[in-house]
């Protein structure tokens, strides 16, 4: 599904977007036109009117059946979210529906009763624990503590009540982790001035502030202790929004969290949902002139551009530091600029004020061709889809061009105010991930090593000669605890070489590891240019009929090197050697994995079933096994 994703200023877009969404709703066509909705919502997502606009449009979208959207657009997989809490949370549905729709995700919402959060967390047969639930939101506020204080009360009473409440939440979280299947989402509780100032002496207020921070710290630590628990910190969100609540609504309707704060919370949940769906972006592509530096290189020359030393220059320097920070955490950095290549490379290498240097980038593209074509070339060079890209540029024309012709890429619209570049790039959490792995931190270096592989390929007369000279070495072995996060990440992020597209969180991987019937294998590769680390995974299950291969995944970065054939050949040999009568596998088609349709047949599997939607079932007799490619050195280890 092509989903244009843009962020940034666009006041004209706002009016057009509102009218278009209203007209689609009036005509009953929101489901049919759902792929166009993200681009329309992008025009409403930022600026002072954003909270109200998204809440209103979200309420319209919430009236559309998510299953109908999915039937019309198979890639628009609904997210099932259960909502429970303390106060009235009706105002959350609109913003949450809109924020998920911005990323092409329809919302299937299950709303709990008012102030039923404790009962819902205790009821292991209830909606929070349903097997199809993706996210279980339990939205709390400070009144869960203050409603239990005696009258009159002191700071010591608040400390006792907060401690008891934290212990209760910890017990309920342990129950959810043990019995639930989704991700439990909690939040920190903002302390209001109307609560703090009920104590008239400063010492008591200080005691209350300290204990309240300790209480919130205890909530945050739950996310560190349990991989399937996520805690949204409301404090930084409240600092950027209006009042935490409207006091009148808090008294009369029990809405203890205000609409604007709920809107920001909904955006954080949407970032989490995107990570759960495996839609984290991988590459940040930046313009140069008036994006990374102040000035135009072609007009002003190297001495005329600024990254420090002036007010505006300092803002660009801060933006470069942010970009470098993102790059240090596995975000691939690339340049796409209307400039000549040689001056750009010289400035990045030699300008004394540059924070970013050539080695920070996996691709530097400077020419006068249209930027949409350049972005496609950058993605192809990295062996990634264009939906992995985030493009940041200060030119409205370039942003509009990319948004219209490469709609699956995210576009961050910067403008003439460089002090806002950082806020606009970070506003939508494009690179948010559940957990950073060591492989993430090494990713840029691994992609830069691909330059050597390309040079070797260009110098070879044949593909066979190239592969032989590459000296590919593959290791297949059971997954161990240090690999769990990376294996989960592969299931979430890998779309092209993914035979069934099942997505697994770290806790799901651990459950399979604990099952004696399951095989969870990590595939590693290295070659003459370096270690690629964990590049693939194989999931299989032993049963009476034989070995059932649940999924095979391989990073697109190492396609076409024989790694997948070597890994599956080793698995089939293991199945035969351990007495399995046959091996079984399946292929489930998606918009991105169609090239893998022939993978199993190429290894000697025969087709034993096919459905109307193109899904295939296979069987291998284990009589004639596929050979390990001659250019691959294989080391395979299996559990006893």
More confident residue, 49 or 437: 49
User: CB of 132 within 8 A of CB of 80?
Assistant: yes
The per-residue pLDDT for 450 is: 72
The superfamily CATH assigns to domain 460-636 is: Gcn5-related N-acetyltransferase (GNAT) (3.40.630.30)
Report the percent of the chain where pLDDT is more than 70. 96
pLDDT in tens, 513-542: 888 888 889 999 988 888 888 888 889 888
- Rounded to whole angstroms, the Cα distance separating 97 from 572 reads 45
228: preceding bond cis by omega (within 30 degrees): no
Burial bucket for residue 5 (CB in 10 Å: 0-12, 13-18, 19+): buried
**Which of 112-121, 381-390, 488-497, 525-534 shows the lowest mean pLDDT across its residues?**
488-497
Give the residue with greater pLDDT, 211 vs 492: 211
| Residue ranges of domains in the chain | 74-276, 283-426, 460-636
Q: Which of 594, 572, 431, 432 is closest to 501 using CA atoms?
A: 594
Q: Residue 486: which H helix or E strand, with range?
A: helix 484-493
- The b-or-e profile of 124-163 (16+ CB within 10 A means b, else e) is eebbbbeeebbbbbbbbbbbbbbeebeeeeebeebbbbbe
What are the pLDDT digits (tens) for 559-614?
Answer: 778 888 898 889 999 989 888 889 898 887 776 677 677 788 888 888 888 888 77
How buried is 257 (Cβ within 10 angstroms: 0-12 exposed, 13-18 middle, 19+ buried)? Answer: buried
Sheet holding 632-636, edge to edge: 606-610, 616-620, 583-587, 546-554, 530-543, 518-527, 472-478, 632-636
Q: Mean per-residue pLDDT for 142-161? A: 96
For residue 3, the model assigns a pLDDT of 43
Number of residues that make up the chain? 640
User: Tell me, which fold does domain 283-426 have in CATH?
Assistant: Rossmann fold (3.40.50)
Same fold, 74-276 and 283-426: yes
Sign of CA dihedral 308, 323, 356, 339: negative
Cα angle 606, 608, 612 (rounded to 5 degrees) comes to 120
For 330-361, how does the pLDDT look when each residue is reduced to its tens digit (9 = 90+)?
A: 899 999 999 999 999 999 999 999 999 999 99
Highest mean pLDDT among 253-257, 308-312, 428-432, 593-597: 428-432
Does residue 554 contact residue 520 with C-beta atoms inside 8 Å?
no
Q: What is the pLDDT of residues 278-321, one digit of tens each?
A: 788 999 999 999 999 999 998 899 989 999 888 899 999 999 99
For domain 74-276, the question of CATH label 3.40.50.1110 is answered with: yes
More confident residue, 442 or 42: 42
What is residue 499's predicted lDDT score, i.e. its pLDDT?
65
Measured between alpha carbons, how far is 218 from 221 in angstroms, rounded to an integer? Answer: 5
* Cα distances (angstroms) measured from residue 343 to each of 323, 347, 349: 21, 6, 10
Average pLDDT over residues 487-511: 78
pLDDT at residue 64, as a whole number: 95
Rounded distance between C-alpha atoms, residue 262 and residue 240, angstroms: 12
Check whether 4 has a pLDDT greater than 60. Answer: no
Residue 277 has pLDDT above 50, yes or no: yes
Residue 444, pLDDT > 80, answer no
């Amino acid at each position: 599904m092509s989903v244009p994703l843009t962020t940034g200023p666009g006041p004209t877009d706002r009016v057009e977007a509102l009218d278009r969404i209203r007209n689609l709703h009036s005509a009953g066509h929101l489901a049919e036109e759902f792929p166009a909705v993200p681009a329309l919502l992008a025009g409403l997502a930022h600026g002072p009117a954003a909270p109200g606009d998204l809440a209103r449009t979200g309420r319209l979208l919430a009236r559309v059946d998510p299953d109908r959207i999915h039937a019309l657009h198979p890639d628009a997989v609904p997210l099932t979210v259960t909502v429970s809490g303390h106060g009235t949370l009706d105002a959350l549905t609109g913003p949450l529906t809109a924020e998920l729709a911005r990323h092409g995700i329809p919302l299937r919402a299950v709303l709990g009763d008012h102030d039923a959060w404790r009962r819902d967390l205790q009821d292991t047969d209830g909606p929070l624990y349903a097997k199809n639930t993706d996210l279980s939101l339990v939205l709390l506020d400070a009144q869960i503590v203050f409603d239990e204080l005696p009258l009159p009360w002191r700071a010591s009473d608040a400390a006792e009540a907060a401690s008891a409440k934290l212990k209760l939440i910890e017990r309920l979280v342990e129950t959810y982790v043990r019995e639930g299947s989704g991700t439990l989402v909690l939040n920190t509780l903002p302390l209001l001035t109307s609560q703090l100032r009920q104590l008239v002496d400063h010492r008591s207020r200080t005691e209350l502030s300290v204990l309240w921070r300790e209480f919130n710290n205890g909530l945050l630590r739950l996310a560190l202790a349990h991989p399937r628990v996520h805690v949204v910190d409301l404090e930084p969100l409240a600092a950027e929004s209006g009042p935490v609540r409207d006091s009148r609504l808090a008294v009369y309707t029990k809405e203890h969290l205000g609409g604007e704060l709920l809107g920001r919370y909904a955006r954080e949940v949407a970032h989490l949902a995107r990570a759960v769906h495996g839609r984290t972006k991988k590459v940040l592509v930046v313009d140069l002139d008036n994006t990374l530096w102040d000035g135009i290189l072609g007009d002003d020359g190297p001495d005329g551009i600024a990254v420090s030393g002036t007010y505006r220059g300092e803002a660009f320097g801060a933006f470069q530091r942010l970009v470098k920070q993102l790059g240090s955490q596995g975000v691939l950095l690339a340049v796409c600029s209307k400039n000549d290549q040689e001056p750009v490379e010289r400035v990045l290498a030699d300008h004394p004020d540059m924070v970013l240097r050539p080695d920070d980038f996996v691709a530097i593209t400077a020419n006068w061709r249209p930027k949409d074509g350049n972005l496609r070339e950058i993605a192809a060079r990295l062996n990634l889809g264009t939906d992995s890209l985030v493009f940041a540029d200060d030119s409205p024309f370039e942003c509009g061009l990319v948004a219209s012709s490469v709609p699956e890429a995210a576009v961050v619209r910067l403008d003439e105010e460089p002090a806002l570049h950082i806020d606009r790039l970070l506003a939508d959490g494009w690179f948010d991930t559940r957990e950073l792995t060591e492989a993430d931190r090494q990713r840029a270096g691994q992609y830069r090593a691909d330059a050597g592989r390309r040079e070797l390929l260009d110098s070879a007369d044949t593909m066979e000669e190239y592969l032989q000279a590459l000296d590919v070495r593959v290791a297949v072995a059971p997954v161990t605890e240090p690999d769990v996060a990376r294996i989960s990440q592969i299931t979430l992020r890998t779309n092209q070489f993914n035979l069934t597209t099942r997505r697994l969180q770290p806790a799901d991987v651990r459950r399979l590891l604990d099952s004696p019937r399951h095989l969870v294998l990590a595939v590693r590769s290295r070659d003459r240019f370096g270690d690629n680390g964990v590049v693939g995974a194989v999931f299989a299950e032993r049963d009476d009929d034989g070995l059932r291969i649940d999924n095979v995944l391989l990073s697109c970065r190492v396609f076409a090197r024989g790694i997948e054939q070597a890994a599956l050949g080793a698995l089939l040999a293991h199945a035969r050697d351990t007495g399995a009568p046959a091996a079984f596998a399946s292929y489930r088609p998606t918009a991105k994995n169609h090239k893998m349709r022939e993978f199993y047949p190429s290894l000697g599997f025969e087709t034993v079933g096919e459905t109307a939607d193109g899904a295939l079932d296979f069987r291998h007799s284990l009589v004639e096994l596929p050979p390990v490619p001659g250019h691959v050195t294989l080391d395979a280890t299996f559990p006893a």
